[in-house]
Amino acid sequence: MTDTTTDAAVSAGDPVTEDGLPTYVADFLSKYDPAATPRIDFLRARFDAGLAWVQYPIGCGGLGLDAAAQSIVDAALEAVAAPDNAPHRNVIGLGMAAPTILAHGTPEQQRQWLRPLWTGEEIWCQLFSEPAAGSDLASLGTKAVPDGTDWVVNGQKVWTSLAHEASWALLIARTDPSVPKHRGLTYFVCDMRSPGVDVRALRQLTGEAEFNEVFLDNVRVPDDNRLGEVGAGWRVTQSTLMNERVAIGAGAAPREGGPIGFLADLWRREDTHRTIGSFDKLVQLWVEAETMRLTTERLRQQAVAGTPGPEGSGSKLAYSLLAQRVSSLELDILGDRGLRFDDWSFRRPNLDDERNRPAGYRFLRTKGNSIEGGTSEIMRNIISERILGLPAESRTDTTIPWNELPR
């Protein structure tokens, strides 16, 4: 049941202004009662009405309004207990794929992918990291060779979140090995259901398999699935990476949300291992967490508006360091009980139950924060060169053809 009446009214030249948005939302809810409309039908109708992300263009789930107006929509829908699109289950799709498709996709690509992405009917992953490239993503070796109207892709990716659930993947591959590494890359969208895509679980320090290896064996990707020009993949990749770092380091969170919330809750419940010293640490971490929350809120709004900047690297780095310090203090307060672990079985994590996981799990999991989404060392390089304007590291591999680099 997808009523296109509302969207048609918008498309017909009856633009919705921010002042008229409350009335527009009320009219939408009068047509789609959340209590009486199946969840997926409600989400599809919300996207078609432009209420998914109001700052996006009409036809792409938005109304072309300022991103700040989204709060009006969210408050109205929350007041009537409308279903959401479970954003924590499609973080790469919503945080990275959508803004990349909006910035670099054709109108046909936007129409094909944005709606099922936003509703959560199609999960996305990101085929970027490779075993031999390390933190230097531009050194990747996965190759895409043209064959008629397709590209044939061969290679191996690693540390791929959600690959086991994804329908689509953002894929960067080398299409010209005879030019310097940054210039020979092209950006694609890969159908994860294609023959030749092999997803294998990776066991982590926590015992869980949150990530995957992905092997690509003669996988055919239509040229219609290319984002940007051939050889311009590095520029498209930068859009994705900047959004990724903002998503990791500047995610929307309430006061005492996330790791600092777990620590504050523990402090209020426990009194066995409280000391003056641990109290001082708690207060310091709380202040840092709140300062970071307020600072990164601006970055999050920039990302929502489609203008993420290199400042997201600062937030990502700060979040990694803070989360590790918070989880360490949590273990200190618990004492011996902090060494207990709940389940070491090799399994896929349940993304809904983090609050119920023990402190030991959080301590181990935060170790990955300084690796995923770009290592802390890479973040420091970006901050020093792109934000502070300091001299760049001496590099000899940016002018030499990729296939002549020693490896």
Structure confidence at residue 351 (pLDDT):
66
Neighbour count for residue 398 (Cβ, 10 Å): 11
**Pair (270, 340) in one structural domain:** yes
| 36 touches 81 (CB < 8 A) | no
Residue 243 falls inside a structural domain:
no
Catalytic residue among 130, 208, 210, 244: 244
Domain at 295, CATH number: 1.20.140.10
State the pLDDT confidence band at 30, using cuts at 50, 70 and 90: very high
Structural domains of the chain, count = 3
Neighbour count for residue 135 (Cβ, 10 Å): 14
Residue 105 falls inside a structural domain:
no
Domain at 200, CATH number: 2.40.110.10
Verify whether residue 244 is a known catalytic residue.
Answer: yes
**Pair (299, 358) in one structural domain:** yes
Residue 28: give the domain boundaries.
Answer: 17-84
Residues 6+ apart with CB under 8 A from 300: 246, 250, 251, 252
Structure confidence at residue 309 (pLDDT):
66
**Pair (294, 195) in one structural domain:** no
**Pair (72, 166) in one structural domain:** no
Residue 9 falls inside a structural domain:
no
Strands 168-174 and 124-127: parallel
Of 56, 84, 112, the one marking the end of a domain is 84
**Pair (177, 256) in one structural domain:** no
**Pair (201, 313) in one structural domain:** no
Q: Which residue has the higher pLDDT, 284 or 133?
A: 284
Residue 96 falls inside a structural domain:
no
Residue 115 falls inside a structural domain:
no
| 349 touches 203 (CB < 8 A) | no
Q: pTM for this structure?
A: 0.84
State the pLDDT confidence band at 249, using cuts at 50, 70 and 90: low
Amino acid at 195: P
3-class DSSP state for residue 106?
Answer: coil
Judged by average pLDDT, the poorest of 86-90, 96-100, 155-159, 245-249 is 245-249
**Pair (363, 307) in one structural domain:** yes
**Pair (256, 381) in one structural domain:** yes
**Pair (228, 258) in one structural domain:** no
**Pair (201, 255) in one structural domain:** no
Q: How far apart, in whole angstroms, are the C-alpha atoms of residue 335 and residue 271?
A: 11
Residue 404 falls inside a structural domain:
no
**Pair (360, 274) in one structural domain:** yes
**Pair (260, 227) in one structural domain:** no
3-class DSSP state for residue 135?
Answer: coil
Residue 303 falls inside a structural domain:
yes
% of the chain beyond a pLDDT of 90? 56
Residue 77 falls inside a structural domain:
yes
State the pLDDT confidence band at 293, using cuts at 50, 70 and 90: confident
| 122 touches 168 (CB < 8 A) | yes
Supply angle C-alpha 134, 139, 143, rounded to 5.
Answer: 115
Q: Which residue has the higher pLDDT, 20 or 307?
A: 20
